Homo-oligomer: A and B are copies of this chain.
Amino acid sequence: MKTYKAYCVDLDGTVYRGTEPISSAVSFVRRLQQKNTEPFFVTNNASMTQLQLKQKLARFGVSAQLPRIMSSAIAAAKYIKRWYPGKSVYMIGSEGLEQALVQEGIERVGKDADIVLMGIDPSINYEKLAQACLDIRNGAVFLSTNRDLAFPSERGLLPGNGAFTTLVAASTGVDPVYIGKPEMHMLEAISHEFGYDKSEMVMIGDNYETDILAGLNFGVDTVHVNTGVTPMEKVLEKEQQPTYIVEDLSFLKV
């Protein structure tokens, strides 16, 4: 198979499963780094900061460069800075999103914002959602980190940011722009910032509906790995196929 300059690797289900590393992925990253290729890590997670994600990867034996960790929080902040420079943001979210906005020097306000940005927030309450609805009804641009309706926990599937975003969209009648996968914004940010051509990039992940579709939406090559959410046989039924389908990342030449 072809080699690439930018390997964009999903995290949960691709590099680790919850608290367990996937050894074939850990080895794959090392093989890349031995060839002086630093991978990108592309995750819909918006609650953790880049540093927290780097530390989590380090615990699994994966060394990641901070600027190459692209979360939907980081991508959202970069999107705002690039397309809405100087605009103020009303944010619902947690530490990852907060720090991403600080990092890009974006002004946060408590109301009357130009932009409403939603990410998962364990401290969500009525007032926060009400203010988001009021600002959106007053014309604020509506952005959301990702569409994730639920995420696994030891208690079962808990409501994700996509569910809270649906609440605000239903109440206001305004649909948001989603930043995370399957949208292409995170890949676009990597391409824009690091100067890669689409032909030099590949998106690698376990979830057809997010990872593979993000790659297809942006128009880059894709690799499906059979280590997470979407079983290989389900992927084979899809009309739009990934460029490569592998059992795990030990099968991927670099």
Contacts and interface: CB of A to CB of B under 8 A. Distances in A.
Contact of A134 (B158, B160, B162): B158
B166 A149 contact: no
A62 interface: no
A69 to B, nearest CB: 26
A133 B149 CA distance: 11
A171 interface: yes
A91 to B, nearest CB: 16
B130 A158 contact: yes
Nearest to A123: B126
A50 to B, nearest CB: 24
Nearest to A173: B149
Interface string A140-180: 00000000011000011111101110111011100000000
Contacts of A124: 124-126, 129
B134 A155 contact: yes
A137 B156 contact: yes
A163 B168 contact: yes
A121 interface: yes
A151 B234 CA distance: 43
5 contacts: A121-B126, A123-B125, A138-B156, A150-B172, A159-B171
